[in-house]
Amino acid sequence: MTESTTNPQDGVLRQERAVRARLDELATALRGHGLEVRVGTSALMAWNPKASMTDDPRGEAMNPGLSQYVAIAPDDGSLNWYWCWTGPSRDAPLETEYMCPAEEIDRAATLITKVLRVTDEGRP
pLDDT tens figures, 26-52 = 999 999 999 999 999 999 999 998 876
Domains of the chain, residue spans: 9-116
Per-residue pLDDT tens over the stretch 66-80 = 899 999 999 988 999
Tell me: the pLDDT tens digits for 82-99?
Answer: 999 888 888 888 899 999
Specify whether domain 9-116 bears CATH 1.20.1250. no
Mean pLDDT, the chain, integer: 85
Q: Is residue 1's pLDDT more than 60?
A: no
The pLDDT score that the predictor gives to residue 78 is 94
- Residue among 74, 82, 100 at smallest CA distance from 19: 74
% the chain with pLDDT above 70: 80
For position 51, what pLDDT does the model report? 79
DSSP class per residue in 17-78:
HHHHHHHHHHHHHHHHTT-EEEE-SSEEEEE-GGG-GGG-TT--TT---SEEEEEEEEETTE
Regarding predicted confidence, which is higher, 10 or 81? 81
* pTM, entire model: 0.79
Position 61 scores a pLDDT of 45
In the prediction, which pLDDT does 65 show? 65
pLDDT band for position 23 (cuts 50, 70, 90): very high
